[in-house]
Amino acid sequence: MTEREMRMKTAEIEKITHLDYFNIAISVDCVIFGYDDKELKVLLIKSDFKEFEGLYSLLGDLVKPDEDIESASYRVLKERTGMDDVYLEQVQAFGSVDRHPSGRVITIAYYSLIDIKHHKLQLSHNELSWQPVNDIRKLAFDHKIILDTSLIRLQQQVMDYPVVFNLLPEKFSLRELQELYEAILGVELDRRNFRKKMSIKEWLVDIDEMESDVPHRPGKLYKLKPEFRKKSGRKKAAPIKQMSL
Amino acid sequence: MTEREMRMKTAEIEKITHLDYFNIAISVDCVIFGYDDKELKVLLIKSDFKEFEGLYSLLGDLVKPDEDIESASYRVLKERTGMDDVYLEQVQAFGSVDRHPSGRVITIAYYSLIDIKHHKLQLSHNELSWQPVNDIRKLAFDHKIILDTSLIRLQQQVMDYPVVFNLLPEKFSLRELQELYEAILGVELDRRNFRKKMSIKEWLVDIDEMESDVPHRPGKLYKLKPEFRKKSGRKKAAPIKQMSL
DNA sequence: TCAAAAGTGTTGACTTTACACCCATGA
DNA sequence: TCATGGGTGTAAAGTCAACACTTTTGA
């Protein structure tokens, strides 16, 4: 690189920096929750940014000018998990001036609930990994705050609406369901009271099958009644033309 | 330089790569609630967009590149109401591609609760007006949806936290407080049960004064205990250098 | 036969709702 | 003296929390 080229680069960056003073980029970040091994997990990726070397971050991308923000988060989900038709809900926007090292980027956080078993796909590829929510101490950017906020939101939702089923396979036992609630809420629940409450809510249908492969008395299996199967997803991701990266 | 380091983007390069995407404008819109004449009201302005001639819209502005989104909404509030130190809370972002006729604008909605009596200022100036929330049928842009979403959020908050006091003067009677809850929630409440609940919550302090100017037996006046006076406002608006418009 | 979880009801504490009368004030 | 809301308690219904024993299965 000649000195002239070096100077050019500087000038170019100068111009960009200036431009960027008048412009704000907007991204979506997805807090993708899964449930496995009796723990609530979240899908993370090794950060690409030098500034955050060694840290993980949420999955996100810039919003394209011709794409709804909800579609953008569906796109990120689909690109990263291969899954479509998932539960997705906006949490809120995060927009501190200094939250992103390369400039002004306001991000809109979404949280998503997926059945981790349906995934298993492009994991070892990029540096994606499922990590237990409770073990996470630090993330790139302000992603730890986004995660914490999303978890609180999930905990609130879970108390009122039948959303946790998006984290489970279609058929599940009451024990699995209770353990999932316990993992999300971080509390222990009384089994009899839990079952009573579930039967009052009338969310479940007994499908007359039993667990198998358990080292103890098998429990009945249930499904969520179809009328409660709201993916909350009104819009699907637009077809992906090209994989980013 | 290892291959991984090569693959790692620096912040500078990231900035260049994604220059294309700095093409979306971002705004805040404030749903400013007030309470007067036993009705919940919202502060609106005549839209100056041809596309929305005759319609009102929420108060908003573009976010400046060097300003936090929360500060931006404080700024809008201060510019429009002259009030500082108000209750303000983010609702969510709205980002449909076609929500704004003059281009791609993603907006972040905030709702605010103010004491309408402390306002009264620059009202007749621009075309600001307080309108009863229940009478509003149509607004410019997607502002009706933003309003509806904000109202639902307010209703949820009100059930759990002592926020309604931001809509009242410092001293108020239990009747006024109850009427306010009724206006927000759109239900009638039982007076005895309402008073019992308030006394259990222990939010109020009896200031040993009575109403005056009421055409009936005066009630006691109360204040909110100072420890509950959370404006939720961590950040104030940055000092305004120049009035927009 | 042991370990592990399935399945199942009752009681007391607390919360919520419904409801009615006398009182103080201003017009 | 009348109209208006202030101020107050109780009982019944419903919800929530705590708690233990028998049964079924696989190892």
**A237 lies in a domain?**
no
The partner residue sitting opposite B21, judged by closest CB among A53, A64, A91, is A64
B166 CA → D27 C1’, Å: 65
Determine contact: A104 vs chain B, CB below 8 A: yes
Is pTM beyond 0.85 here?
yes
**B205 lies in a domain?**
no
**B42 lies in a domain?**
yes
**B35 lies in a domain?**
yes
Q: Contact B18/A62 with Cβ under 8 angstroms?
A: yes
What is the rounded distance in angstroms from the CA atom of residue A202 to the CA atom of residue A204?
A: 6
Question: What is the predicted pLDDT for the residue at A1?
Answer: 45
- For residue B181, give the 3-state DSSP assignment: helix
Determine contact: A186 vs chain B, CB below 8 A: no
The partner residue sitting opposite B92, judged by closest CB among A23, A48, A90, is A90
Please give the helix or strand (H or E) that residue B157 lies within, else none: helix B143-160
What is the rounded distance in angstroms from the CA atom of residue B211 to the CA atom of residue B106?
A: 46
**B185 lies in a domain?**
no
Closest residue by Cα to the C1' atom of nucleotide C15? B197
Give the chain A residue nearest B4 (alpha carbons).
A48
Tokens of A39: 């723990």
pLDDT tier at B158 (50, 70, 90 boundaries)? very high
Q: Contact B92/B150 with Cβ under 8 angstroms?
A: no
**A184 lies in a domain?**
no
What average pLDDT does the segment A67-91 reach?
A: 95
Which residue(s) pair with A56 in the sheet?
A: A46
**A226 lies in a domain?**
no
What CATH number has the domain bearing residue B47? Answer: 3.90.79.10
pLDDT mean across residues, chain B: 87
Residue B10 has pLDDT above 80, yes or no: no
Amino acid at B29: D
Q: Contact A102/A61 with Cβ under 8 angstroms?
A: no
Residue numbers of the domain that contains A61 = 7-167
Neighbouring residues of A188: CB distance < 8 A, sequence distance ≥ 6: A182
* pLDDT tens digits, one per residue of B172-223: 999 999 999 999 999 999 999 999 999 999 999 999 999 998 999 999 999 9
pLDDT tier at A234 (50, 70, 90 boundaries)? very low
Determine contact: A101 vs chain B, CB below 8 A: yes
Please report the number of interchain residue pairs, chain A to chain B, with beta-carbon separation below 8 angstroms. Answer: 108
Neighbouring residues of B48: CB distance < 8 A, sequence distance ≥ 6: none
Determine contact: A145 vs chain B, CB below 8 A: no
What is the rounded distance in angstroms from the CA atom of residue B35 to the CA atom of residue A159?
A: 31
Helices assigned H by DSSP within chain A:
3-21, 69-81, 143-160, 174-185, 191-201
What is the rounded distance in angstroms from the CA atom of residue A15 to the CA atom of residue A8?
A: 10
Contact B19 A16 (CB under 8 A): yes
Q: Contact A137/A145 with Cβ under 8 angstroms?
A: no
What is the rounded distance in angstroms from the CA atom of residue A144 to the CA atom of residue A130?
A: 15
Q: Which A-chain residues 69-88 have CB contacts (< 8 A) with chain B?
A: 69-70
**B206 lies in a domain?**
no
Domain total for chain B? 1
Question: What is the predicted pLDDT for the residue at A124?
Answer: 58
